Structure 1
Amino acid sequence: MTMTRERGAGALPAPVLLLIGVFAVAIFGQGGYYPAAQALLAVGLALAMLATLRTRGPPWSELRYPPVLACGALAVWALLRATLGGEPSDASGYVLMLAGVAAVIVVCGRTTRTERDVLLDALTALAAIAALTGLIGVAWHYSPWALGYGPVWRAATTLTYMNAAAGLLVPVGLLALGRLADEPRSRVRAAAACVILAGAAATLSRAGALAFVVGAAVLAGLIGPRRFARAAGPPALGAAIAWAGLLPSIVHPHPTPAIAALALVAGLAAATVLARPPSLATRRVAVAAVVAAMLALGAGVAAGGGLSRIRADRLTVSESERSHAGTVALRIAEQHPLAGVGPRHATLAWAGPGSRTFVARYAHDEYLQVLAELGAIGLALLVGLLAALALQVWRARRWVASPGLWAGIAAALVAAAVHGGFDFLWHVPAVVLVCAALAGAARSSETATAVVARRYRRPPLREQQPKGSVVT
């Protein structure tokens, strides 16, 4: 009997394995944006739900979970609005994405604490690999892992889109920092956070930077500034060193991969060494890392006006295409305020110079996109969904055993909500499903055990045994 218990405890259940596979397909399959990858995601999520039903029974309580109900309400309204427009199939994007979100929340909500931790470890590892592909892409000017954007090269990772890469890496990076606050001496977690933050910085995403600042402020407020500095300091320093070494490849037409590789190694060394109080032996490694970092910084400064190029291209809030698309979306919402024009019917077109007509598929603002397509009703349902997620994550603080993990999840979801106002991230399944997994992880099945233990505070069974008895 003991052998059976140990074997069962060491094996991951099928739903968790299937979810990890789904996230791998989404992250490494261009974000799951295209139909072939979406078909694999749908099959994987369906199998995960079936496996959950088979191994753990019908999820009646999860189906009454407010975020799941909110997903259903928004999906029903999108389908109804598309039907009123004569094309029910136009709502397929909304319906499938919301069904995927609900499925991930349900499956994650039925995991044990150990299974949840393994799932989050897998998510962090997948994000770190994706970030590494972005760093490699910029260092070698390898497309599509990096893309030339004006005078600079930006990391696009396996998602092949810079802002979507930031939309994935920023929330997972905040999650990694939150978990590092629970285990500040973990060198593995520090190294993973370093790579993820460096990859996020290499995207040069302005909205990603804003989302990270907001999320970091939330994280610091929830765990305390001192714990935040202790957790975020080593990986942030390592990421800064890695980014400095990447700077010549970012701004020059010819890549310098040797400098980038040296800086990445130095950054990882700095992050891992500083994660623990350095001894005499590790101080030498730290000195070597600092020397290498200074070389990388010197090379970055010598990049010939590199910082000025980045400042001129990225440190600006004006971008004509996005501003025009947002203006057109607002105009559509004014003309159809209550129900919108229907899914896939928001034509964002405007006249440009030279009598040319410009057309954008997305408003680069998910809130405006929903308002234009589904009207005030759809926007209200979306706000209700976000509010339900926020409320449930806030309630989870009472029973999650790891305060840093809970704070990291909260900060990650806040960052994702902020970033959604600046790009079409919610049309990228990799970003949406990862955020759904974080929301579901805050409500794993450890909650019932933790609540009962706190409420009744009964001693463990072994402590209740009389002397001389044998526990079998």
Structure 2
Amino acid sequence: MVAGEVVGARRESVALPVPVLLVVAGFAAAVVAQGGYYLPGRVMSGLLVGVAVVLARPRPNLVAALGGVLALWAVVRGLLEGDVLAALPATAAAGVFVGAVLVAAQADQAQRELLATVLAGVGALVAFTGWVAVVFRVPAWTTVAEGLLRAASTLTYPNAAAAVMAATAVLSLVLRPTLPTAVMTFLLCTGIGATMSRAGVLALVAGLLVLCVFRGLKTTVVTAAPPLLGAVVAVGALLPTMRVADEPQVLVAVAGLVAGALVALGLPRLGRFVVPVAVLLAAGGAVAAFAFADRLATRLSFSSPDRAGATGAALELVSRSPLLGTGPGNGSFFFNSGNEGTRMMRYVHDEYLQVLVELGAVGLVLVLGLVAAVLVAMWRGRGTPLWAGAMAAVAVVLVHSGFDFLWHLPVVLVFAGLCAGLGFPSTGDGSVGGTDDEVLG
């Protein structure tokens, strides 16, 4: 048997370990249960990740320690405020994130590549259902904002859906180039456009920049341009359907999706004609955006009065209790909204500021410490394309978290944890996912 046949046989025999499958099941459960935002989804995803950790029995390390201290601090603040149950969401959030990291880190390289492919497939399904929801006006999977129908998929929150899609998109760019991979990446990019999430686009750009740094500018542009330009075609054809007041243009949207897929799949095969065709497609996208600029005005602007008002209210709460915070679950923000009078927002749409409000500077330092520990451990695992994709995916979530309340949805935390684990040092046999010295430094 030749070497190539041996490698092929090994690849065909790759299977995900049971703990990893359980975490993937927790991610999928959160996907179909409105991101896991409500109690049933939180319990299901939390239980699956918890059982996975018990079965995996990962070694204690700095990431686990910091996650535990963060959860403990949330409980302490809940006790001090006389409502320990209010700390459960924060402790569960820390638990599912750290649990997903530790379980994924135990997979070997072949298992990690398979896991990344599975995550890309789930993300592509989220993107496709979001596109379907806009085209066929599915109320449960869309959100109406400023007169626009925005894709939310089964997560039911467009910005969370965009975060998952953007992180998955940069991860999919480092997978082996196959027809299914190309289709998944195209669908992911199209789905981001269907959400009309400004933060999702900014986070995607941040992830692409990380890929440029760690994989090289040329490689990133060559792999990212076809799906992105294909998405330009598909989203451009979707624009006439997105305004609620207009009749849905189903045939136009479907034709655009098919044409976009052909662009994404065919562009790499155009040889010397690829540059002029790419320029024409980009110009066409710009023309479409300009033609619908009046309908998309709120999405093409960085202005957000409600978020600005909530941020001001949040900073006022921080000034009252900067060290300890108001306590978990006590971050409600009241502000004046002009003719609409006083408004209240439960979330400030900035998770870092939200933590500062509720858990104070102590909580924010613990969160940033946990993030730093994860990034340091990932840095020690560098050296493969998959690592670069994992680092880019984590960067997408970190950037997007500064614009939306993503950490309140287990679907984002489990996904981010799995991506982080993909970048951890590996022993090659999947037994420990890095030694204590590697993780603790």
**Which position in structure 1 is the counterpart of 2:173?**
177
CA–CA separation in structure 1 for the residues paired with 2:205 and 2:270: 27
Per the normalisation by structure 1, the TM-score is: 0.82
Deviation at 1:450, TM superposition (A): 12
CA–CA separation in structure 2 for the residues paired with 1:149 and 1:351: 20
Deviation at 1:444, TM superposition (A): 6.1
SS of the equivalent of 1:350 reads strand
Deviation at 1:377, TM superposition (A): 0.9
- Residues 295-318 of structure 1 show CA distances to partners (whole Å, capped at 9, x for unaligned) of xx69x84x99423321x2112222
**Which position in structure 2 is the counterpart of 1:194?**
186
2:380, 2:425 within 8 Å by CA — same for their partners in 1?
no
Deviation at 1:443, TM superposition (A): 2.0
Asked if residue 123 in structure 1 is aligned to residue 89 in structure 2, the reply is no
- Residues 217-244 of structure 1 show CA distances to partners (whole Å, capped at 9, x for unaligned) of 1111211111011111111121111111
Alignment partner of 2:265 out of 261, 264, 272: 272
CA–CA separation in structure 2 for the residues paired with 1:12 and 1:364: 35
SS of the equivalent of 1:375 reads helix
- Report which of the two structures shows the higher radius of gyration computed on alpha carbons: 1
**Which position in structure 2 is the counterpart of 1:307?**
293
Structure 1 window deviating more from structure 2 (315-324 vs 335-344): it is: 315-324
SS of the equivalent of 2:344 reads strand
- Residues 93-114 of structure 1 show CA distances to partners (whole Å, capped at 9, x for unaligned) of 1111111112111211111222
Aligned residues, how many?
418
CA–CA separation in structure 1 for the residues paired with 2:119 and 2:254: 24
Structure 1 window deviating more from structure 2 (106-115 vs 367-376): it is: 106-115
Higher RCO (Cα < 8 Å, 6 or more apart): 2
CA–CA separation in structure 1 for the residues paired with 2:399 and 2:12: 41
Per the normalisation by structure 2, the TM-score is: 0.88
Asked if residue 207 in structure 1 is aligned to residue 188 in structure 2, the reply is no
Gaps of 5+ in 2: 1-8, 433-441
2:378, 2:425 within 8 Å by CA — same for their partners in 1?
no
- Taking only the aligned residue pairs, the percentage that are identical comes to 35
1:340, 1:373 within 8 Å by CA — same for their partners in 2?
yes
Asked if residue 233 in structure 1 is aligned to residue 250 in structure 2, the reply is no
- 1:288-327 residue pairs with structure 2 within 5 A? 301=288, 305-310=291-296, 312-327=297-312
Gaps of 5+ in 1: 53-57, 452-472
> Runs of 4 or more off by more than 6 Å in structure 1?
5-8, 448-451
**Which position in structure 1 is the counterpart of 2:6?**
none
CA–CA separation in structure 2 for the residues paired with 1:7 and 1:418: 34
SS of the equivalent of 2:349 reads coil
**Which position in structure 1 is the counterpart of 2:25?**
21
Deviation at 1:355, TM superposition (A): 8.1
- Residues 238-294 of structure 1 show CA distances to partners (whole Å, capped at 9, x for unaligned) of 111111111111236211111111111111122123345679xxx9xx9xxx9xx98
CA–CA separation in structure 2 for the residues paired with 1:238 and 1:83: 53
Alignment partner of 2:239 out of 233, 236, 247: 247
SS of the equivalent of 2:144 reads strand
SS of the equivalent of 1:374 reads helix
CA–CA separation in structure 2 for the residues paired with 1:217 and 1:350: 36
Structure 1 window deviating more from structure 2 (95-104 vs 438-447): it is: 438-447
**Which position in structure 2 is the counterpart of 1:432?**
413
CA–CA separation in structure 2 for the residues paired with 1:149 and 1:28: 22
Q: Which amino acid aligns with 2:256?
A: A
**Which position in structure 1 is the counterpart of 2:437?**
none
1:151, 1:313 within 8 Å by CA — same for their partners in 2?
no
